[in-house]
Structure 1
Amino acid sequence: MPTPTSNRVVVYLQDQSQNGLLPQCYQNLTAINLSSFHFGFDGPTPYIHLNNNVPSDPMFHTLWTNMASAQQNGVLLFAMLGGAGGAYTELFQNYSTFYPILKQMLITYRFDGVDLDIEEFVSPADLQMLISDLRRDFPSNFYITAAPVAMALKTGSDPLAGGLNWSHFKQNIDWFNVQFYSGYGSLSSTSDFNEIVAQGYPANQILGGALTNPSNGGGYVNISQVMYTLQALETQYGSIGGAMGWEFFNANNSGEQQDPVGWAQDMATAVRKNPSSSPA
């Protein structure tokens, strides 16, 4: 599969209640970020879990079938590691134990990449170790992405990751699923995106990430406005990294109706993912 270098549409899938709609979105999606993976111990036994259950739990049988179907239709599958529930403290405190478990899980379920959503203190040395090990252990077409808040890239100091400076890692990150919400940035205009590019990040490495529904967090921007901003950025830069949404199950379309399929179509139009699409 050719490397997607711009105009991507990425969606996070945590609540799986609507993943049956995904087949209608395949042509409009670049990647699904399956959320969220964490580490823990069951007594003395270490394990990795997807939300609250191990990946092999029978409850995920339909999920894995659907994810394989998505991949067969050209959609990349990512394991989102971390998020609000944490993961990295446990990983790095027991790295020789947990990294092999992570590696095997990625192989077993045939992931195309990992999305690093760091919302806890992580040292630059530990992050570099993780990235280096993933690059060593997986083929060249295995992707590593990250999901910092917009403020982290604008200021050079990630407020959720102990001041981590992502500019030191941008050569090893395929793209950034940037969170332009929760008070750390906004897609109500092009200004925050432009400030990130002014810090030396290529426009085609930055995805404009927005909430798909006002119930998903603070700083919601209407989907029609998100589209307008992304289209303006596409015009300004020629092509940008694309669009990202948190999350799929209750995503609104540009008419502010809950419609995950419509959301994917609208985002593909906004970032011109498909050659037949044109800005509204």
Structure 2
Amino acid sequence: MNSYLIAEGSHRVAVYYQSQFDNSLEANSPFGHYVSPLPLIAFITHLLLAAFHINFDDVSVHLNDNVPEAPIFTQMWSDIAIMQSTGIKVIGMLGGAAPGTYTCLTPELFDTYYPVLHGYIKRYHIDGLDLDVEQDTPLADIVHLINRLKHDFGPGFIITLAPVASALVEGANLSGFDYIELEKQVGNKISWYNAQFYSGFGTFFPDDMYLEIVNFGKGLHPSRLVATTFTSPDEGFGFIDIDSVVSSVQDLAQKQNFKFGGIAGWEYWNSLPGGHEQPYLWAKLMSETMHQLKSNETQLASSKSIQSRVIPRL
């Protein structure tokens, strides 16, 4: 991994990338104005590519409204390969607000639909899956999917989940299964949680909700909890201004002895402060914040090391 990237597992900066085209800007491709993820290089650790859906009727997988191999995505796949060459991990988001995907992964239907998904993961060298389960789904089905993904793609394959924040304290939940029980059963195979701190299911400022999650029950180590926030008020209810997000990030890093899982933004294309013209500026600001945290951590460790070697006066 290149030296300018944040170390894996330490203060992640991730963005969800669902709007690959922006109709508010002048066309720069045959398909409209293509929003390239390349400006995010050096600022993010993970790109969450959204959203993959499994379609019941024709046993297919779509990336938003098209099959992944459609010409509309040719430039995107090329850019993503460049990003991966710099060390950025690309994780496919599976599911989301559109229902149906996880209905295709029941025990009866799994062997019909899963191979299509498996084929695209392999074809496009996707580094992991973010399971965004927003429909009632049996716990056993999710456990089975996680176990199968790990079996097929190996221990290095990243598996994350994207519950609403309240679900991690057994509150309001869109998934229909208990995340605390999921953690008990296969937590060792889940890299981290991209919890949704918006839309009335939690807020990231102040940081009380984050602390409640890491201290709930047996607790969730803060290195495995990434806070997902809206990057623009246009994304929906629950937007937190960027200065407040930075403030919470700094506070949490101090309170958690710098073992803070990171921050993710939904979504890339219109992120403030740059908006449609410079959406990468959100990630740049978060990256700079994380690098400062890392510097503070290093200075603290060095200070403690020096203190431990000082011979006390008699």
Amino acid at match of 1:213: S
- Give the distance between the partners of 1:273 and 1:47, measured in 2 at CA: 44
Relative distance call for 1:273 and 1:46 in structure 2 (3 A) is: farther
Structure 1 residue 250 and structure 2 residue 270: aligned?
Answer: yes
The residue identity in structure 2 corresponding to 1:8 is R
Partner of 1:135: 150
Match of 1:91 in 2: 105
Aligned pairs for 1:112-261 within 5 A = 112-155=127-170, 159-166=173-180, 167-168=183-184, 169-199=186-216, 200-237=219-256, 238-253=258-273, 259-261=278-280
Give the superposition deviation at 1:276.
Answer: 6.4
Show structure 2 runs of 5+ residues with no match. Answer: 23-33, 298-314
Deviation at residue 210 of structure 1 after TM alignment: 0.3
* Structure 1 residue runs without a partner (length 5+): none
Measured in 1, the distance between the counterparts of 2:123 and 2:74 equals: 14
Q: Tell me: CA distance 1:158–1:165, structure 2 relative to 1, closer, same or farther (3 Å).
A: farther
Distance change in 2, residues 1:12/1:139 (3 Å): same
Matching of residue 68 in structure 1 with residue 81 in structure 2: yes
Amino acid at match of 1:216: E
Amino acid at match of 2:40: C
- Superposed displacement of residue 89, structure 1: 1.2
Structure having greater relative contact order (Cα 8 Å, sep ≥ 6) = 1
8 A contact 1:77–1:111 mirrored in 2 = yes
For residues 186-223 of structure 1, the C-alpha deviation after alignment (integer angstroms, 9 at most, x for no partner) is: 01111000000111000110111100000101100001
**Residue 68 and residue 193 in structure 1: after superposition, are their counterparts in 2 closer, same or farther (change >3 A)?**
same
Q: C-alpha separation between the residues in 2 aligned to 1:246 and 1:71?
A: 20
Match of 1:17 among 14, 21, 25: 21
Letter in 2 for 1:171: N
1:12–1:89: structure 2 CA closer, same or farther, 3 Å change rule? same
**Aligned counterparts of 1:108 and 1:194: Cα–Cα separation in 2:** 39
Task: Tell me by how many angstroms 1:113 deviates.
Answer: 0.4
- Aligned AA for 2:208? S
Q: TM-score, normalised by structure 2?
A: 0.81
Distance of 1:194 and 1:41 partners within structure 2: 39
Deviation per CA, 1:6-59, whole angstroms, max 9, x where unpaired?
Answer: 2001100000137655323211111111111111155xx411111111111111
Change (3 A) 1:16 1:276: farther
Provide the residue aligned with 1:47 in structure 2.
60
Stretches of 4+ aligned residues off by more than 4 angstroms: 18-21, 255-258, 273-278
238-247 vs 165-174, which moves further: 165-174
Q: 1:109 to 1:261 in 2, by over 3 A?
A: same
Q: Is the 8 A contact 1:251 1:258 kept in 2?
A: no
Aligned to 1:8: 12
In 1: Cα distance, 2:61 partner to 2:190 partner: 23
1:28 aligns with 2:32: no
Judging changes above 3 Å, is the alpha-carbon distance between structure 1 residues 66 and 277 closer, same or farther for their aligned structure 2 residues? farther
